[in-house]
Every structure is written in structure tokens, then in C-alpha cells.
Amino acid sequence: MHDHVTLAEADGTWCCRLVPLSVLHTPTWTTMYWLSVLSVLTVVPLGLATPPSPRWDDIRLKHSWDSIPGKWECQGHPPAGTTIDLRVALKPHRKNALIDALYEVSDPSHSKYGAHLSKEQVAELVAPHPDTLELVGSWLAHHEVPSAAVSITHGGGWLTVYNVSLTQANALLGATYQRYRHMETKETIIRTIGYALPAALHEHVQTVAPTTYFGSSRALRLTSKVMSNGPTLPNGDPVLQNASSTSAPGAPVPSSCSATITPACLRRLYNTLSYEPQAPLSNQLGITGYLNQFASHSDLTEFLARFRVDALPAQFPVVRVNGGMDNQNQPGVEANLDIQYAESISYPTPNIFYSTGGTPPYKADDQTPTNTNEPYLDWLKFIVNQQTIPQTISTSYGDDEQTVPQDYAESVCNLFAQLGSMGVSVLFSSGDFGVGGGSCHSNDGTNSVKFIPGFPASCPFVTAVGGTTQVNPEVAANFSGGGFSNYFSRPSYQDAAVVSYLTKLGGQNSGLFNPNGRGYPDISAQAMNFQVVVNKTVINVAGTSCSAPTAAGVISLLNDFLISKGRSPLGFLNPLFYRAPASFNDITSGSNPGCGTLGFSAGTGWDPITGLGTPDFLKLQAALG
């Protein structure tokens, strides 16, 4: 973090390492400007007394990196005339109101358990103070941002400023926006190494995007990989695919499931075979897709014909978000994996695939970047404003937590909290790099060896899913991501479980992780040797991308059970799960080595590699009553 910047010349183009903080001029107060924007937010009272004009030239650093984030390289200034859309997260008037409400409706011991909030109730909880709106409006007016370019969403918690020229964005934020190219994906984006805000706004603004988060829909990390030497079942699963739905609960899982995983393996392993969904008209399961990953309808049909014949009628709608595509000629391994296993476990529950694109928020040409959007924000902005949201949502993508600015991570995490408060169960894969996150070195300038947690798995308001392998018994997959957040403190719902683990751990790995951070994963599921159909061919896939849709399928069945009884869906899962550890298959062997260590080991109770264990549907169903 720095309070000044220098420019560095590289290969003849000026690229930012740190940028000089612009000197902003003292404004002329223009209250009427912001009143025109506030008119769309009827819950905010107008006619407030005009406060003294702040000093807009008193600017303070909001966030900066010490150097260009790893795997990105500066490409110089974007073409003249390039514009972006800025999203501004405003701090709520009642700081803890949303989180307090989330825990009330998610804690089985609370009188409000299951009384999930409406979209309007959530909007009221996250609304900023009217003074915040007026102050931010004055700042924008000072920089001659027209009121027609500003929109307020979801109770005023977020502002979007459209078609901002980079010259204007640099002045607003004391920034120097540049083009950056990802060295592996070759994708280019527009970002700044650092940005600042007037001191008067720091107590009112949580984050601004896009700024210093070097994330994009193509640079997100997949949590699946094709195992080229893994066994496959090209002719389907003759032993298991026609297994009777009346098979006795607890019947042994065939040993062949240690070598190849199919839907029938998972349905037996997690005790869902005997359950027949009763509420397919009221219950839904959502799968998010990024990275131009398209789910193939014809491959799903082929998959079900091979591995779950009775579900052959199943199909899914594709909802396109932010220019997302649906190219059926280019099926993605990740997308096919997610939809094939979510569908085959939850059938006949309707599944929805969200294809989130990267349409740039500025006019593009051959020289401009193809994507400057923030991947999670694009989808979250869309989904929280829908009238109907699937009760269960699975996502199999992530980043190293340290690559995400903390204020940005907190803003995104709070949007997941909004979903939970509305009765949505949000599941994320925990990652495939053990304790190291693929890096093992801090990016704080010291380059010290550290365990690197993943995000959004580290967000305390999602359910992170780790990986297992083998059967009879299951063991931890050695790549299963897990550890402790450096951004989010340990939530109370997991205090007892995590403290118990840390006590047994003793001084092992001391100094490599934050023992006071949110521990993850929360649960786990199978993560190796999944049979997936891509372009009509069966391939073998591994990763916690296998775990997340598997667990989501089980959770969706639990939601079906509750909805069929006229009860509320589960919503945010973690407070319930940590109260019911006996409803999971405890995984007591395996570890996730990395960073020159053995990592963390699985053991009795919760551990930061398999969480509470793998779900047992019938035990969870019984626990729900």
C-alpha cells in the first residue's frame, strides 16, 4: 500500500506500477443534480439540509498493489475514447443489519429460522444513509458526471456510472487505467494498479470496480481437470445405471466406484437412491458458467442414456447474463460436468444454466480489450434482482484470496449473504491446489512462504465443498483446497469445530496460516474419476468442480423435501450443518500437502481439507424432521 506513485517505462510504453494521485479541485455544491437520481429511490427522504461542501482535493489511497499482479503484463494506454462502467458499492446505513438478519433466518435455534427475506426487505437492510447518497452525488457532480449516466440498484447499495471516459475515471479515482494482458489466456483487460477517493468518501464507499481486482471471466481458475490416463466407461455403466430406486438404504457401494464415478455411485454413496422428488414445480437448481464454458444439451442426453436412463427427459434452459453465449458446437468440460451431475442427482428437479459473458462496458474495436467486467459482480448484480431465484446454486470457479482486494472481496461476500438471507443455498468448490493455492508465496511485498486460501470459498456466507476419493471408506483428495482466510474472521457457527481441530493440530504449520480466520471447506464430496460426456465421448475428470455440483444435487433434494412439506428451503446452510455433524460421513484420512509441508490432515470431526465430511441425505433429512 502506498500514498504516492511513480511511472515506469517498459518497452517504449508507459505502464503503471503505482499511479500519481490526481489533485481534485474544490467543487461547487449541486444538490439538485443528485435529487434527480434519488427520485428513483422512493425510500430515501429528500429535502435534507445541505451539508458543508467537502474538500474533494483531500484524497486518500483506497487500495493499491506493490507491483503488477502475477501473470499480468502492462500493454500501455487504451485507445483514446475508451469508456468503462464504474460500479460503486456504498456502505449500508445499518452496518450489521444484513448479517444479523442472515443469521436469524439461518440458525435452527432462532425463532425466525426459515423466515427468509424478500428482495425488498434485503434492499432496505443494505440501503445507505441518505447523506451517503447526497455526498456521492455531489462528488460525481463535481466531476461533471451527468445524472442520466447514474443508476441506483438494490436499495441504493450499488451505483453504476455508465460510459465513463478513462480520463474522467482517472480524475474521479486518482488512478491511471491501463491495458493489461494475461500471460496465459492472452486476454486483455483495463485496470489500475491503485486508486484513491476523497477522504470524505472513505466512510461511505466500500469499493469501486473495475479498479485493482485483476479478475476476468476468462482468468478465473477452473477447479476441474481432464485425467488423460484415467479409466473411462465408454459403453456406459451396465452394473449401476439401472439400479433400482428401491435399493435398501445403506447398501454397500460397489468397489468399482473407487475407479470410476457415475451418478449411480454418488446416489448410493450419499443415500439419495430411495428418494423421489415431490416438488419439481417449485424447486430449482442453478449452475453458473464462466470462461465461455457452454453446457451441451445433446451431451446431456448422451450422458443420461449411458448413466441414468430414467432421467432421459431432463433438459435445462440457458439464461444468458451480460452477453453470455450458448454455443452448442463448443461444449466445455466444466459446464458439461456441472450440468450432467447436478441433473442426474437432482432429477426431476429443474436445473438452470447461467452463461455469464464478458461483454465489455465500453465501445470495443480491434485494439481494445475484450473483457473489462468483474466476473462475480456481473452475475451477482443480475441474480439478486430476479423475482425468482433457484433455491440451490453451485459454482466451480475461484481465485487466490490474496489476488482479490479485500474491500472488493467483502462487497462480493456480502452479496452472497443477500442470497442466503433470501433462502438461497450457495455452494462453491474449495479449489484444487491443496493449501498453496498454486502459489505458496504472499504478494504483500515480502514474497514469504504462506498457505494461500481461495476465494470465494473463504467467504463465510457460502458453503465451500472440498474433495474426496475412493469408497468404503472415502479419503481426502490430496488436491482438495482448504485452509483459513486472511480476510474473514472465524464465524461463530464454526467456533467449536475449528477450535477443536486447531487444538489437535498444535504448533504444526504455525506461521503459515491465520488460525483466527474463517476455516474452509465446510463439507466435501467425491472429486476424482468422474465420467463426463463431451462431444459424445466419455472422458475422466477430477477436481472439486466435481464435488460442488454433487453436493448441490443432494442439497437440492433436501430443499425438495422441505418444500413438498410446505416448509421453507434451507437457505444459508452452514449454521445448520455445524449443528448436525453426525449427518455427514466423517472423513478421517488423507491430507492436502503443499508449500513444502504435509498441509493439513483429515481427522475426526471438522478439518480444513474435507470439512464436516460428505453428506448423508437420509441422515440430513431425518435431522430436518
Catalytic residues: 334, 338, 545
CB 610 within 8 A of CB 466: yes
CA-atom Rg of the chain in angstroms? 24
Which CB contacts under 8 angstroms, 24+ apart, belong to 361-364? Answer: 361/83, 361/84, 361/85, 361/162, 362/82, 362/83, 362/84, 362/85, 362/163, 362/190, 363/81, 363/82, 363/83
Q: How far apart are CA 526 and CA 429, in angstroms?
A: 12
The region that residue 437 occupies, defined by phi over 0 for left and psi between -120 and 50 for alpha, beta otherwise, is: left
H/E stretch holding 376 reads helix 375-383
Q: How far apart are CA 79 and CA 529, in angstroms?
A: 47
Q: How far apart are CA 153 and CA 375, in angstroms?
A: 18
Q: How far apart are CA 348 and CA 82, in angstroms?
A: 47
Q: Which residues are annotated as a binding site?
A: 586-587, 605, 607
Strand order in the sheet with 454-455: 221-222, 397-400, 454-455
* Residue type, position 385, single letter: N
Residue carrying the nine cell digits 483459513: 484
Q: Which residues are annotated as a binding site for Ca(2+)?
A: 586-587, 605, 607
Q: How far apart are CA 473 and CA 471, in angstroms?
A: 5
* Residue type, position 128, single letter: P
How many residues belong to the chain?
Answer: 625
Q: DSSP code of 18?
A: S
Residue 416, all three cell numbers: 452472497
- Which are the contacts of 572, defined by CB distance < 8 A and separation ≥ 6? 102, 105, 106, 417, 420, 421, 425, 426, 461
526 pairs with which residues across the strands? 468
By CB atoms closer than 10 A (0-12, 13-18, 19+), residue 107 is middle
CB 585 within 8 A of CB 474: yes
Residue 386, all three cell numbers: 430476479
- Which are the contacts of 565, defined by CB distance < 8 A and separation ≥ 6? none
Helices 119-126 and 97-106: angle between axes, nearest 10 degrees: 140
Q: How far apart are CA 591 and CA 509, in angstroms?
A: 13
Q: How far apart are CA 210 and CA 177, in angstroms?
A: 10
CB 72 within 8 A of CB 180: yes
